[in-house]
Amino acid sequence: MDNRNLPGRPGNFNMTTNDEPNEMSVAGDTINFAPMKKDSSSFDNMENGEFNHKKVIDKRKKKKNLKRRIILGVAAGILGILIGILCAVLWYKNYLLNKITYEDSTVYETFIDENGEVRNVAEFIHEPEHEIIEDEDIHNFLLIGIDSRSSGYSSTGRGGLADVIMVLSIDNDKGTIKMISIARDDYAYVPGYSRPMKINAAMSLAGPEVLKLTVENMLRLNIDGYAYVNFANMAYVIDAVGGVYCNVSPGELSAEGGLNWNLAEINNLYGRPSDYQAVTSTGTIWLNGNQAVAYARIRKIDSDYGRSERQVEVLRSLLSQFMGLGVSGKAAAMDNILEHIVTNIPKEKIQEYALEFLPELQNARIEYMQLPIQGCFNSGMYGGEWSIRPNWNAEIPYVQQFFYGETKEFDPVEEIPSSPATSNCPTDLKIEDLLR
């Protein structure tokens, strides 16, 4: 076959630009070509028989600009979503933090002393001769449970006895939580009063600032702030985490002053039948908020010492239940818990500990020590009143060792009448043996 008229060679051939097959005749034969369509990179860019490079470059630029706009649009969308999430998180944090009742400490700058005179709390704050033990990573807070038998708080924050007095110590570096429980019947010197009295009276007489100063003076500690909750509201706090587990003995359950006896008192206060939600089993059992509060208030069957242990048992289970919740569960629990707390701790500190430190703890456990320490107190009827007479000076070194891992010289506390002499108190007890 003569190849002179094939494509690529000089000659005449018929070329069409429609979508039908093209034919080229060569020596009576027909050669079929595949359909030929307009292509943006070929024939569409032919002008006057020459290829138009400028149009191709312009179209490529347009494609690149389109891709860039798409990428930028997607990135902007993702950024917008992230900003939205961040704003929602910040809003929710503020929402939770704003549920707390923040007290202005200036409300308690003054109080009425034993002579009926108005005194300023600052009058009773003195520079110690020996520097108070401190560590920048360790922060101490006073936790107060008020037994006012009502759900609200008084306008002054006074009027209820401090049924629960605890010092919570948080170590940011080690990520530990330690707690000391102070028996409410411990005798202590309250600012503005010349004679010692039961430490729980400081709250009702002068408010949380004076109670805080009393604890600081008796333990030679610095306390960063206080928080208190009414026992009536503590039930809501416990229910917020789904209840707690406590080991209830038969005596604790049914004796006069026991769980069901206290529960009946709570029910009567709210106009409910006395046997409403009465507990019928013993051992390690689940308790709801009202039942747990009734359990934590048991004292008559043994002592204030036993009551403090039950209170810490409830708090330990409360923390364990909280830590076992998922993220949404913890957020919901915080929503219910924080609205029942009154505090003078700044909002940023509450955020740091309640919303950041606590939820991040893994397998958190409260290390707990109870005051007074065995051998460091006398108890009984004094002047027609049952009370505990501790030797605070003998206990301070144990508190220092427990919270800070070391002891330091301190200004001695004025001795409580009828308390044991320091020379008769134990000095060689091991901290691990005191933990409960």
Q: What is the pLDDT of residues 270-318, one digit of tens each?
A: 899 999 999 999 999 999 999 999 999 898 888 777 888 898 889 888 8
Tell me how far CA of residue 129 lies from CA of 63, 170, 231, 397, in angstroms: 79, 26, 39, 17
Pairing of strands 46-47, 50-51: antiparallel
- Phi, psi of 183, rounded to the nearest 5 degrees: -60, 135
Low-confidence ranges of the chain (pLDDT < 70): 1-93, 105, 148-160, 354-365
Please tell me the predicted confidence (pLDDT) of residue 156.
45
Rounded CA-CA distance 280/315 in Å is 22
For the chain, the first-to-last Cα distance in angstroms comes to 109
Report how far apart, in Å, the C-alpha atoms of 71 and of each of 65, 66, 67 are: 10, 9, 6
Nearest-angstrom CA–CA distance, 223 and 111: 20
List the one residue out of 202, 193, 197 whose CA is nearest residue 226. 202
